[in-house]
């Protein structure tokens, strides 16, 4: 049997004892320093023949770290743990241990941040889904303006849901039961509003239609929102934009959020005018000269935009002159729509209540124009003509359901369908004999006029 010297056996025992010590390669497939001494070469070869693992710590570390992704905290920690396993220097082992702790702390912090972000994303998604459900439910309940408040952030989803709850309570109020209707309106805090005075006076009387009561509750809620928005706007430094924003908010052409943003615009504009122009689709619009150019208010964006060749501004003309709303006709319309006065029957008032936003605005413009024209032709007070103007327009082909078909009813199942209205091309079909031609029929109105 071959005898090995004590020096060779010691070389084998101490071979590769440190990650930082010069090392000798263990073979063709391993990396490391090349043999530097005959003793080192001999120790590695003989150690291998004796069945010992003669890889250096650096080689073992390289193999242990193979495939580790150092781009992640997990990979960096695994790599450091591998180094700690093969390191023999106590000082360096302590340093590596501290590195591992720091990496683990950073990993935990990143995990907490990622979890918080995931919760935020989830909460935002749930918030958006809840908002969409509330908006849809409000629209189906006939509260399209309140739905718009929820959609643009004027109302939170919770506030929208609270109003839905109010509508459910209204639905349960007994038809034609004065006591039941008084109770629900008082509980909702609307009993001081003028629109509900008919329920509480000496000659108090209930409404016979749950639908009308629901519409009045929607209008009451809108009025409170609008009044708060107007109050905020009046506290701002007054300007043409602030004055316009108040008018648009009161007309239902803007939400409080939109009105507040509009009031702070830097554009130079004239005081907006209403009732003088319409668009090609028959929608009445407010106009203003903005930075020297005549523009109209786009209710979808609450921005003034320039007319185009495909969507021009069309003057609303009667008797060869551009029609303008008179204060008397505007006041007369308010009286006709007052439930307490009972000028319209409940079905008519309910149908008007189905209009909102630009459709209600367009209808009211048309009604005031028609009443003014009849007043001039018949030499009667505009107040005497307003009721008939409103009823005639409600019964006309220009008042349609959401789908564009003639209005045939309000409720489909439990879904309350909103109504639409476009400006008549002329008022001659309503008995106005004087010329009242506009600049050619709109595409949508022409379709109505040529229907079989």
Q: Give the pLDDT of the chain (452 residues) as one tens digit per residue.
A: 555 556 655 655 555 555 555 444 444 333 444 445 555 566 566 555 666 665 666 776 676 667 778 788 888 888 888 787 777 788 888 888 898 899 889 889 988 999 999 999 998 898 899 999 999 888 888 888 899 899 988 899 999 999 988 888 887 776 678 888 899 899 988 888 888 888 888 888 888 877 788 888 988 899 889 999 999 999 999 888 888 889 888 888 888 999 998 888 877 777 788 778 889 888 888 888 888 889 999 888 888 889 988 889 888 866 556 666 778 888 999 999 988 888 998 889 888 988 888 899 999 999 998 998 899 889 999 999 999 999 999 999 999 875 444 433 344 344 566 789 999 887 888 887 755 444 343 343 333 223 33
d(CA 203, CA 128): 47
Report the distance separating Cα 259 and Cα 273, nearest Å: 16
Nearest CA-CA partner of 23 in 80, 73, 62, 78: 62
d(CA 101, CA 84): 12
* pLDDT at residue 445, rounded to an integer: 32
Using CA atoms, how far apart are residues 56 and 22, in angstroms rounded to an integer?
9
3-state secondary structure of 435: coil
Q: Buried b vs exposed e over 56-65: b needs ≥16 C-beta within 10 Å?
A: bbbbbbbebb
Residue 27, pLDDT score: 40
Using CB atoms within 10 A of its CB, is residue 165 exposed (0-12), middle (13-18) or buried (19+)? exposed
pLDDT of residue 384: 93
**Residue 60: C-alpha distances to residues 12, 54, 85, 275 (Å):** 17, 10, 10, 87
| Chain CA centroid to CA 250, Å | 21
In sequence order, the 6+-apart residues with CB closer than 8 A to the CB of 347 are 209
Which two tokens mark 11?
């070389």
The dihedral of CA 141, 145, 148, 153: what is its sign?
negative
Q: Return d(Cα 358, Cα 420) in angstroms, integer.
A: 9
Distance CA 265, CA 301 (A): 14
Please name the helix (run of DSSP H) or strand (run of DSSP E) that holds residue 178, with its range, or none: helix 178-187
CA 289 to CA 309: how far, in whole Å?
18
């Amino acid at each position: 049997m071959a005898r090995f010297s004590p020096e060779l056996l010691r070389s084998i025992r101490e071979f590769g004892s440190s990650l930082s010590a010069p090392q000798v390669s263990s073979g063709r497939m391993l990396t490391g320093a090349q043999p530097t001494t005959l003793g080192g070469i001999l120790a590695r070869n003989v150690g291998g023949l004796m069945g010992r693992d003669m890889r250096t710590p650096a080689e073992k570390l390289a193999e242990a770290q193979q495939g580790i992704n150092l781009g992640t905290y997990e990979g960096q920690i695994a790599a450091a743990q591998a180094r700690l396993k093969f390191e023999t220097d106590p000082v360096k082992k302590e340093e590596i241990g501290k590195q591992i702790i720091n990496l683990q702390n950073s990993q935990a912090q990143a995990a907490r941040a990622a979890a918080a972000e995931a919760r935020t994303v989830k909460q935002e998604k749930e918030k958006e889904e809840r908002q969409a459900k509330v908006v849809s439910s409000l629209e189906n309940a006939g509260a399209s303006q309140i739905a718009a408040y929820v959609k643009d952030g004027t109302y939170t989803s919770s506030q929208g849901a609270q109003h839905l709850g109010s509508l459910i309570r209204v639905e349960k109020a007994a038809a034609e039961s004065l006591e039941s209707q008084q109770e629900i309106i008082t509980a909702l805090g609307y009993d001081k509003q003028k629109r509900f005075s008919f329920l509480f006076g000496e000659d108090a009387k209930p409404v016979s239609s749950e639908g009308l009561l629901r519409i009045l509750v929607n209008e009451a809620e809108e009025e409170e929102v609008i009044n708060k928005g107007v109050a905020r706007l009046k506290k701002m430094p007054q300007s043409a934009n602030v004055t316009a924003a108040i008018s648009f908010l009161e007309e239902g052409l803007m939400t409080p959020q939109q009105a507040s943003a509009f009031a702070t615009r830097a554009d130079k504009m004239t005081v907006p005018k209403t009732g003088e122009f319409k668009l090609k689709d028959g929608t009445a619009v407010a106009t203003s000269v903005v930075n020297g150019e005549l523009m109209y208010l786009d209710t979808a964006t609450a921005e003034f935009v320039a007319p185009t060749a495909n969507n021009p501004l069309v003057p609303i003309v009667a008797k060869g002159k551009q029609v303008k709303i008179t204060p008397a006709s505007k006041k007369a319309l308010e009286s006709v729509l007052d439930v307490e006065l009972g000028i319209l029957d409940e079905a008519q008032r309910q149908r008007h209540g189905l209009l909102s936003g630009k459709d209600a605005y367009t209808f009211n413009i048309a009604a005031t124009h028609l009443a003014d024209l009849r007043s001039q032709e018949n030499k009667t007070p505009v107040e005497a003509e307003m009721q008939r103007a409103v009823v005639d327009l409600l019964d006309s082909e220009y008042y349609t359901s959401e789908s564009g078909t003639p209005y045939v009813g309000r409720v489909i199942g439990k879904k309350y369908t909103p109504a639409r209205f476009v400006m008549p091309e002329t008022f001659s079909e309503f008995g106005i004999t004087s010329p009242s031609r506009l600049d050619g029929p709109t595409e949508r109105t022409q379709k109505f006029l040529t229907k079989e």
